[in-house]
Structure 1
Amino acid sequence: MAALRTRVSSKVMGRLRLASQGLLGSGFDGVPEAVRAMAAIQAQDLQAALWAVGVRVPGAGLSDVRRALDEGSVVRSWPMRGTLHLLAPEDLRWILNITTARMVQGAAGRHRQLEIAGGDVEVCREAALGLVDGGRAASREELFAAFEAAGQGTEAQRGIHLLWLLCQSASLVPGPLDGNQQKFVAFDHWITSSRNPGREEGIAELLLRYLRGHGPATLRDFAWWSSIPLTEVRKALPAVRGELVELEHEGTGYWLSPSTAALLDQGVPGQRSVLALPGFDEFVLGYTDRSIVLPPEHAQKIVPGGNGVFKKAIVTGGEVTGTWARQGSGRSAAVVPVPFDDTNPFGPAALAGFRRAAERYGRFLAS
């Protein structure tokens, strides 16, 4: 499709992203549907990831998202960027088939330092699969003990790297929750049905799904997000561009779904929307260039010192305008906004909107 050469402000671009991500209007119909629609949701911080799903599913409670993980209708693993994500179970194996080799290659230097060779991984695979045989689940500590008993040290992060390699090879997968941790299970026992597109078809599908769930976004955004080389991403675009619309913004092409682009016809909603998003949320993190929604002068307030730890974000009208935090514990805990601009705090309407967002978060935690 031809590019829409229309003048669109950054705030409108941000609201289009809110719409794509199910953060405006009716959201998604359920927990698995939200995860599937987003293609994958960052889940390094489990508690943040639970709310990242909940905020996209009206009426969902914490127990609903936890149940999806316990039942395996949503899974959590390391499909890209060496970072944990939530995704649909049928998608994990084929995405790993695309991304694993590059991630393992990127970790090769560290694995040499830890003296991890192919034979070591095979020893750990045998020990781990023996421990989880018959549908049993094992904690990380139990797996580490099995590795040690098989002669494989686990100190200095060696154990977690061995465990990561077993998940990358689809031998193990994080399964049911045990408090705020996950136990590990045999991949083939937990995920009994996997799709198997070829590499080129798979990259094209993942590109399409990312742009539908994150657009407007660039090909570079997707290449960073997916850990897939930009040359392969560009090669995949012709297969799916007929199902997308290209929007030109400040001289750069951004891709999005036709249904999201159609919102431009009548005015993109959400001008007065106020959201309390978790840390590491895809709305902020899911792009290599975040300047459309996060003013560069405030980026350090979301990721202090560039340390990779994303704070909880307040989003008003499609733009990140502050952070928020819980103060206290239990039922008496308060949700406190911290606007970026101390000299120009939120007005009455924004504060009222934030209170509603905080109340929704409280209902999510309680149900």
Structure 2
Amino acid sequence: MPNRIIANRRLFNQGITGMKHETPEEAVRSLGAVQAQDYHQAVWGIGLRTQSAKVSDVEQALNDRKIVLTWPMRGTIFFVPSEDAKWMVKLTESRFQTHDKKKQAELELDEGTLHRCRTIIGNALSGCTTVSRPRLMELLEEAGISTKNGRGYYILGYLGRTGMICFGPHEGKHHSFVLLDEWVPNSRELTLEESLAELALRYFTGHGPATIQDFAWWVGLTLTEAKRGFEAVKSNLRLDFVNGTEYWSSVTAPAVSADTDSVVLLPGFDEYYLGYKDRSAIIETEHDAKIAPHRNGVFQPMMVAGGEVAGTWKREIKRSGIEITLCPFSPLGDQAEEFREAAKHYSDFMEMPIGRVES
């Protein structure tokens, strides 16, 4: 059964309930990093944790280089504080070497070809130039390097995971890319031990109560590596035993009531769900598969009531405004109106009128 005490403490520590952060970059920094496999969902994840934020505010923080979109952990995409992008990428880069060698062989990408890719893309982005994904694909094709069958996407991801490039501002409907060293010239440099400790403290502060296994999974580290970071900051953490399991959070985290009735519409891929290996505290086992029903790595936006995942939702943008469809796991009853208010909060963030909310 979901555990409401753990769930509601997580809601509070993640900035979903309680005091909101003043700026998008503060919201990102408080969590350590924000998962961003789906860009439009991720900006809402930042916005709902920020005071009176609009989508334009989050995108402006990206354009102003206060937050960066890159590949720091688990080989997937996150928003991170700009000054932390390099050391976060470096921390987990070596974890993908075996996988990369296998994938490169599968895609027939030898070291010579990858070196040419680095040169072509490096020259195109030099001088803090932003170039869209389609144009980078064209440049590779013009040089005789095929981008078909996933090769182009792999090349960009590989150069991102190894710290050469990161995402730049949006150009219309497309992502652009920049050189990380040029885009974030004044970044922090941390040793391996400092990196493990820093990330552990941020994780348990922004995600607690959580387990060491949760932390290891979130970062993509071995349990041994995760424990090294944990042990370095353990004196700053508080232990709670719940059903015989150790949960850790910041010693400065305030006690949170377990009887909150907060209602919120969370994005897909949100830290509240994907920030943990074990999600049993926030969702019934029988409903867990409904968050990623197609088993393709795509996680649905979630309805959350009192800390428990209570359904999924989807949006459709039309000329008249945003139409939202709620798909609760059980009848909403008295909470129907509260979810309508949550839908209005989302439409306000998107700076668009709400056309219809149905379930």
Shorter chain as denominator, the TM-score bin is over 0.9
Residue identity opposite 1:244 in structure 2: L
SS in 2 for 1:310: coil
Which among 24, 27, 36 is matched to residue 31 of structure 1?
A: 24
Number of equivalenced pairs: 352
Which among 162, 166, 182 is matched to residue 159 of structure 2?
A: 166
2:21 corresponds to 1:16: no
What is the Cα-based RMSD across aligned positions, in Å? Answer: 1.7
Which among 279, 284, 298 is matched to residue 268 of structure 2?
A: 279
SS in 2 for 1:135: coil
Tell me the equivalent position of 1:353: 338
Distance 1:9 1:145 in 2: 49
Change (3 A) 1:180 1:282: farther
1:241-293 Cα offsets, whole Å, 9 max, x none, are: 11110111111101111232x315xx346x11000011111101111111110
Deviation at 1:85, TM superposition (A): 0.6
2:65 corresponds to 1:79: no
Residue identity opposite 1:321 in structure 2: A
Tell me the equivalent position of 1:319: 308
Tell me the equivalent position of 1:59: 52
Deviation at 1:328, TM superposition (A): 6.0
Contact 2:4–2:258, Cα closer than 8 Å, also in 1 = no
Tell me the equivalent position of 1:330: 319
Structure 1 residue runs of 5 or longer lacking an equivalent are 1-7
Structure 2 residue runs of 5 or longer lacking an equivalent are 353-359
Tell me the equivalent position of 1:195: 188
1:211-265 Cα offsets, whole Å, 9 max, x none, are: 11111111111111101110111122221011110111111101111232x315x
Which among 199, 208, 214 is matched to residue 221 of structure 1?
A: 214
User: Which one is further off, 136-145 or 276-285?
Assistant: 136-145
Distance 2:168 2:71 in 1: 13
Change (3 A) 1:28 1:252: same
2:263 corresponds to 1:263: no
2:233 corresponds to 1:209: no
Distance 2:301 2:229 in 1: 34
Q: How does 1:300-311 map to 2 (within 5 A)?
A: 300-311=289-300
Deviation at 1:305, TM superposition (A): 4.0
What is the TM-score of this pair, normalised by structure 2?
0.94
Tell me the equivalent position of 1:4: none
Residue identity opposite 1:359 in structure 2: K
Distance 1:45 1:211 in 2: 24
What is the TM-score of this pair, normalised by structure 1?
0.92
Contact 2:301–2:312, Cα closer than 8 Å, also in 1 = yes
SS in 2 for 1:333: strand
